[in-house]
Amino acid sequence: MRLTSLTALILYLNSLVDSGKYDDIGIEEVKLHIDDGSILRWLQQRTDIDLSLHVGDPNLTEGFEDFYVNYLQAIYDAYAGNERRKWGVERRGLCLLIAWTNEIVQQGKGWKPNEDVARR
């Protein structure tokens, strides 16, 4: 799994929140699609983002969809109902997806900063 697949998804989700067009997507609606495994396909249908690099043929998408859905379901099973306390999210489903996708990144291993960028 490439970290860039997760960070690209965070950028897409962030752009959706920024647009304001999808403020009506609530936490319960997102949880429903996490639970049934359709979250990425539903997002692609419901919004105007192109998730073709994240959804589809597992050979072309590095199995991202299965990985992402399984990880979200594990977070859901462990923390559902505690969104406000743990991530400060209580209204917008897209914000929940950003928080949970960020959680997946944080739980990963092997990330290193590019020291050349951080230097002045």
Domain count, the chain: 1
60: pLDDT strictly greater than 80: no
Distance of alpha carbon 21 from alpha carbon 62, whole angstroms: 30
119 against 9, higher pLDDT: 9
Residue 115 lies in a domain: no
pLDDT at 61: 66
pLDDT for 70-97, tens place per residue?
A: 999 999 999 888 889 999 999 999 999 9
Residue 120 lies in a domain: no
pLDDT for 18-53, tens place per residue?
A: 999 999 999 999 999 999 999 999 999 999 999 988
Residue 51 lies in a domain: yes
Which range marks the domain in which residue 103 is found?
Answer: 3-108
pLDDT grade for 119, boundaries at 50, 70 and 90: low
Distance of alpha carbon 27 from alpha carbon 17, whole angstroms: 13
Residue 102 lies in a domain: yes
Residue 69 lies in a domain: yes
Reported pTM: 0.88
Residue 16 lies in a domain: yes
**Cross-strand partners of 35:** none
Residue 73 lies in a domain: yes
Residue 119 lies in a domain: no
pLDDT at 120: 61
Distances (CA, A) of 21 to 47, 54, 92, 117: 9, 22, 12, 34
pLDDT at 116: 76
